[in-house]
Amino acid sequence: YKADCVVFDKTGTLTNGAPALTDVCPCSGVQPETLVRLAAALEQCSDHPLVRAVTAYAQQQSDAPLPPAEDFSYALGRGVRGTVAGAAVVCGSRTWLHELGIDMAALAALPDLRAQAKTELCVARGGVVLGTLGIADTRKSEAAAVVAQLRAAGKEVWMMTGDHVLSEVRPDEKAAAIERLRARGKTVCMVGDGINDTPALAVADCAVAMGGGSDIAIESAGILLPSGNLEKLPELFDISRTTIRTIRQNLTWALFYNLVSIPVAALGVLHPSICATAMSASSIGVLMHSLRLKDSGKKERRFPWKKKS
């Protein structure tokens, strides 16, 4: 409940995890079909959920088999490369293609799909950029409301992904990004679902995994949202706050009770049987007070940052 910074993974956490190819933007003189099939030929060797959208789109457009890719390699969080029909093909982020020495000037005439909150794949063949592909994943219906609730509660909200806010973050850099937030004095709650979120989940002060996520992410997290419904996240903070308050109330009562009853019992003012009964009654009282937490999830929760109608 002390977390003042909530970091979300995007794919599968804020989105439904069912990406689709939405934009085909070829450079001048390049056919859209050529761009898609070339990217799909290379991406068919990868099992990343985003690139499956490319191969699925290519298969829908044509029944012809995709050409095989050779010398396939994967750069973590950046893209893939290989040889298709005797030509070197690269498919990945703008940053990576630029690092490989590929001239990206031709993309200036194309829309920047990153500004549209889409994953952008740049395709190059033989060192020449051919165009870009845009992949979008539908946002969970409750995502915007949950983020608004968390912000209204005074929490700093980030989205960490390879594309956008805290952008160009490779999977092996996510943990370092969390550490940087902690170095700024933030108490960080990380919310993720995939294998590449595991390092970040492990180093965060509080880790929440989605129920439909990978097994290793669930094992790395301290809290699991079985339904994957983000609406439970604000409720999680509310329950945590209520639990800590209940524990403190129980400790205060137990301390007060013992400060009064122990001296009375030691002086022999009360019969031992009465003291034993009183001690049992105190323990039962603490237990019943704690059991009030069980009923908190059975009624509609009223978050302290919501305005009551």
What sign does the CA torsion over 198, 203, 204, 207 have? positive
169 pLDDT band, cuts 50/70/90, is: low
The pLDDT of 89-112, averaged and rounded, is: 92
Q: Which of 91, 136, 130, 140 is nearest to 110 (CA)?
A: 130
Torsion of CA 173, 178, 179, 182, to 10 degrees: 160
193 catalytic residue (yes or no): no
Could you count the other beta carbons within 10 Å of the beta carbon of residue 188?
A: 24
> Quick one: pLDDT at residue 307?
44
> From CA 49, how far away is CA 60, in angstroms rounded?
17
> From CA 179, how far away is CA 239, in angstroms rounded?
26
Catalytic residue, from 4, 9, 23, 215: name it.
9
301 pLDDT band, cuts 50/70/90, is: very low
Q: Which of 237, 235, 175 is nearest to 202 (CA)?
A: 175
> Quick one: pLDDT at residue 76?
73
Q: In what order do the strands lie in the sheet with 20-26?
A: 20-26, 128-136, 119-125, 87-92, 79-84, 69-75
> Is this model's pTM higher than 0.85 or not?
no
What sign does the CA torsion over 260, 264, 267, 273 have? negative
> Quick one: pLDDT at residue 167?
54
